[in-house]
Homo-oligomer: A and B are copies of this chain.
Amino acid sequence: MARNTQVSADPNAPPITHILAEFVAGHPSRGWSDAVEHEAHRTFMNWLGCAVGASHHEAGEAALAAIATLQPAPQATVLGRKDRVDIASAALVNGITSHTFDFDDTHLKTIIHPAGPVASALLALAELTGASGRQVIDALVLGIDVSCRIGNLMYPDHYDRGWHITGSTGGLGAAAGCARLLGLDTQATAMALGIAASQPIGMREQFGTMTKPFHPGGAARAGLMAALMAKHGYTASARALEAPRGMIQTISAKCDWREATDELGRRFEISFNTYKPFACGIVIHPSIDACAQLRAQGVKPEQVERIELKVHSLVLELTGKKEPADGLQAKFSVYHGCAAGLMFGRAAEEEFSDEVVNRPDMVALRRKVVATVDDAIDEASADVTAVLTDGRRIHVFVEHAIGSLENPMSDAQLEGKFHGLSDPVLGARPTSRLIAACWELAAAKDVRGLAALAVPA
């Protein structure tokens, strides 16, 4: 569930992003004194001398060796496209696209979306190294375990102060997974984690912009590069995570260290992963599910006089938009969610298109939704009654929506979701082959075969 608390936030800060941007874009060339101009040359020269002087130091050598892995450039697949780019860029872009629809997986204990950072880094690296499916699955389970355990350790304080926890823990998961895929030993793996520990990514203020999906993409790239650098001897603190001025204590006041180690190797956090059936925030899911159940029971939109919706106050607080103007706004409208559930029995990305949102029958239907707050109903539940034009009342109560940990999507439902996403890009038959390759991944000798199936003909 989304959280709204933040310690000591100042909502009245002046618009310094804009002020500084205007300054940088608009200040005249050489708009300063001779002293400043001279200092600029001194600054440049001193920087240049330092860089030339250390140009053959082992840190530069190790970084260059890692970078050399990236070249020549076209190494890895951009999923769903014919483009091929270097592996770091593939990790970045696939991490972005996998989170773009807010439709990816959720580790509910921490609201981390764990696959984006980890899988995006792993597939790109595996394409280069020719890793087996077995190696990729092993690295995926272990990488996700690391990022979610660090998440457990810091959540909720870390999230409350403004961090998008998917990006801030994702680099560690990607580094761990890539270190595993590269076969690094404990020492080098610790260095990979250490390099990644200096790069937590993502502020919640970015929600609603493209920089939100940048977070898992950036984390994927950072973790991949951290593992490559560690492989080539780049060093970090061996206590980069836990030291007083290490990552965790710097970005979280909650440091429950046991979460990192309790039942390590016996309890796997991927067991608590969930998948969204609907392309919007989880808080709307029970309402959509209930309306889809009404539709399954034969209720038709034209029969409906009124939809009585009872939900926890948080649902309306976060998604109470009555008249969404476009697809993005509709993702924050429980009214639109109910209408989509009743009209289509689903709410995937296309049901949040601008076109569908503005269809007259959809506008009319969502105006029939009357929402009331009832805090006796859990945030994860919804109580819906369809009042029909003939006076009948049909009631559905959803305790746990489809896609929750208690009521997970079936494999068949997951395949259906996959088809909905992939068919428009790859076509239905290639998508079926790709789905089969996913189920058989652990047995694949070389993961490049699967990657090739994700490219349009």
Contact = CB atoms under 8 A, between A and B. Distances in A.
What 9 pairs across the A-B complex have the smallest Cβ distances?
A55-B80, A53-B421, A162-B250, A9-B244, A47-B115, A21-B190, A162-B245, A54-B100, A13-B242
A60 B426 contact: no
B96 A53 contact: no
Contacts of A29: 134-135, 138
Interface residues of A, number: 184
A347 interface: no
Contacts of A195: 211, 214
Interface string A31-70: 1100111011111111111111111111110111001001
A93 interface: yes
Interface string A234-275: 111111111111111111010101001100110010110101
A27 interface: yes
A72 interface: yes
Contact of A39 (B215, B253, B271): B271
A439 B30 contact: no
Interface string A179-206: 1100011111110111101111111111
27 contacts: A10-B255, A11-B244, A18-B186, A18-B238, A20-B149, A21-B187, A22-B186, A32-B141, A39-B270, A42-B275, A43-B273, A44-B115, A45-B414, A48-B79, A50-B101, A51-B80, A53-B425, A63-B93, A67-B89, A71-B86, A194-B211, A198-B202, A198-B214, A200-B200, A211-B234, A211-B237, A214-B229
Copy total for this chain: 2
Contacts of A316: none
A454 interface: yes
Nearest to A425: B52
Contacts of A60: 78, 81, 93, 96-97, 100
A26 to B, nearest CB: 7
A85 interface: yes
